[in-house]
Structure 1
Amino acid sequence: MSDRLFERNSAVTLGSRKSGEALKITGLRTVFQIEKNSESFPNTAKITLYNLSKNSRAMVSKEDAFVMLEAGYGDRLETLYVGDVARAYVSRQGADWVTTIECGDGRNAIRRVHVDRSYAAGTDMKAIMQDVAKSFVEQGKVALGSMIGIESKKTERGDVLSEMSKDAMDRLTKNQGLEWSIQNNTLQVLPKNQALPAEAVLLTPATGLVGVPVLRDVNEGTAGIEFTALILPGIAPGRLVKIQCDQNQSVNGLYKLEAVDFVGDTHGQSWYAEGVAVTL
């Protein structure tokens, strides 16, 4: 296994989108469970910090509080998760003060953002979908990522959108066979049979693949695999993964990642990603 996969490390930033305050925390024991997928509901996380200072604990109670978790090896850290704080609580475990934070990626935007627009007949559907996406950016402080595969098709009649932006985006993407989600506070739209335009994450025993991937049916009979790897932040819904496993060459190939769960403990044994990916 590559030397770059040793010396696991993490950093947590606590902040408020309302006030603009942010505090980066390093060196503390950090335990986390993260669930990510390509659906339009918020990706969830539970992040536990040991012996966080009183002032730092106060940050998660601020209005529109958020958490950013970076993970990696040595000083090579990348963003693993960004989410809005849904609930936070403190408990005493022996000599330790333990702060647990439950989060949802894009949670506030999905729950709050509303679109109110009217369109004349002949409006480009691509423009309508872009307007809905912009509502997340302008009202929900979500970044705009890749928007791929949207058909440029004229509407036959006028239309009025007055609804939650999530509902509008669900309907518009479904009509075009697309999927949308918020990943690390960034909105992305993709065809269901296409991955993000980024280099595939190579998974081999040398780069972090653990054990042998298993072939399985995913999403109503679509062929795919399940795999376990060490935590690599590049493993994210919508990304391409390239499997190379000499122990079972039938699983080798390119796949689009549909879902991944991360489990980590900077002071324990857990430091894994469990992914589900489909054949393209």
Structure 2
Amino acid sequence: MLINNLRMSFDVRKTIDKNPNPAKVMVYNLTREHMSALLEKRWTVMSLSVGYEALRLIFAGDIVRANVSRDGMDFITELECGDGNTAYSSARVNMVMPAGTTDAEAAVALTSTMPGVTRGPMAVTRTLASARPRVYSGNTRDHLSNLARANGADWSIQDGELTMLPASAVTADEGPLISQDTGMVGMPQQSDDGLEVRCLCNPELHIGGLVRVQSILPHYSGDFKIVGLQHAGDSMEGDWLSTITCVGGIFQKVERKTAVGAGASAGDDIDIMEPDEYYATHPWMPRVYSVDALLARKSYGLRKLPVDRRRFQSRAR
């Protein structure tokens, strides 16, 4: 069912942690047939796209609960949704992966056990293969949490895509500019979770991506990683607003690459990390490797990744 000419209000909240992102959508004066279909759970998924000219997706997920209430002459259908809620709560795994399995391969295998979830931007900091078989049994979310923790990363489901990003990594998309000229509302405010910035609703913002903040105070200006996001609005009244929670730092972009170009052969290089010059000027930064590129390298029989022996030896002491 496509709804595009009725009054709607929405409140979408996203974070970088593993818990399903919640959304609340209220639709006014649906037909009785459509209200019944939602109440009887004949429709179980929902996507929400907004925009001022072209529509852009800001939420996709499972309908957890539907309720209908009345306010005067209006019948209001309230949908409570969770991004990847079914997969998060019910996905289970029972498999053994052979010795030589890498964290990248484990991440992909675990993602495949979550119904309705596809692979989004994913990166790891560890490239060493395991010396022994890996046994996974139980809730998929628990094993993903352990894997992410071992790589200093956060995992979450964003609009049906599973993402895993180390603290020093961001998605490769170009971050939008938020300033007084591009829709910033008020001034940025510092909070316990990071810098909070409000602006007119901007569907280009996404968790794990960059945002460039330009404030009249230089202290609040710069490039930040988005770790929290809220979109809220009503099609009949008020402004549509986005509230961003972001953190500063030096970040490495994670490219999404799923294949190697034609003609690749053993000994070829794939750009799976920042150039060595980057790490020469930022020696404290752990290397971040794209999961897609690591798998492409292995499937094409390309030469092995360099091992960070310094970190390996420090763990052995």
Task: Give how far 1:63 is off.
Answer: 4.7
Query: Amino acid of the residue matched to residue 69 of structure 2?
Result: S
CA distance, structure 1, for counterparts of residue 135 and residue 124 of structure 2: 23
The equivalent of 1:170 in structure 2 is: 145
Whether contact under 8 Å (1:85, 1:101) holds in the other structure is yes
Superposed CA RMSD: 1.5
Task: Give how far 1:64 is off.
Answer: 6.2
What SS class does the counterpart of residue 256 from structure 1 fall into? strand
Whether contact under 8 Å (2:121, 2:162) holds in the other structure is yes
The equivalent of 2:305 in structure 1 is: none
Structure 2 residue runs without a partner (length 5+): 250-317
Matched, 1:30 2:8: yes
CA distance, structure 2, for counterparts of residue 178 and residue 56 of structure 1: 41
Which whole-Å deviations, capped at 9, do the CAs of 1:153-186 have from their partners, x for residues lacking one? 2213223111111111011111111111111111
Which whole-Å deviations, capped at 9, do the CAs of 1:109-158 have from their partners, x for residues lacking one? 1111111111233322221121001222xxx1112111123522221322
What SS class does the counterpart of residue 34 from structure 2 fall into? helix
Match among 23, 27, 31 for residue 45 of structure 1: 23
Matched, 1:277 2:246: yes
CA distance, structure 1, for counterparts of residue 148 and residue 177 of structure 2: 30
What SS class does the counterpart of residue 212 from structure 1 fall into? strand
Whether contact under 8 Å (2:102, 2:127) holds in the other structure is yes
Query: Amino acid of the residue matched to residue 153 of structure 1?
Result: L
| Count of paired positions | 248
Which whole-Å deviations, capped at 9, do the CAs of 1:181-214 have from their partners, x for residues lacking one? 1111111111112111100111112221111112
CA distance, structure 2, for counterparts of residue 77 and residue 125 of structure 1: 37
CA distance, structure 1, for counterparts of residue 177 and residue 171 of structure 2: 15
Task: Give how far 1:228 is off.
Answer: 0.6
Match among 223, 229, 243 for residue 260 of structure 1: 229
CA distance, structure 1, for counterparts of residue 51 and residue 37 of structure 2: 24
Task: Give how far 1:80 is off.
Answer: 0.9
CA distance, structure 2, for counterparts of residue 64 and residue 93 of structure 1: 24
The equivalent of 2:295 in structure 1 is: none
Identical-residue share of aligned pairs (%): 30
The equivalent of 1:54 in structure 2 is: 32
What SS class does the counterpart of residue 24 from structure 1 fall into? coil
- TM normalised by structure 2 equals 0.75
Which whole-Å deviations, capped at 9, do the CAs of 1:37-86 have from their partners, x for residues lacking one? 00111000110000111222234233561111111113x11001112011
Query: Amino acid of the residue matched to residue 172 of structure 1?
Result: L
Matched, 1:65 2:34: no
The equivalent of 2:120 in structure 1 is: 145
The equivalent of 1:86 in structure 2 is: 64
- TM normalised by structure 1 equals 0.84
Whether contact under 8 Å (2:108, 2:119) holds in the other structure is no
- The 5 Å alignment of 1:7-18 reads none
Structure 1 residue runs without a partner (length 5+): 1-22, 219-223
The equivalent of 2:190 in structure 1 is: 215
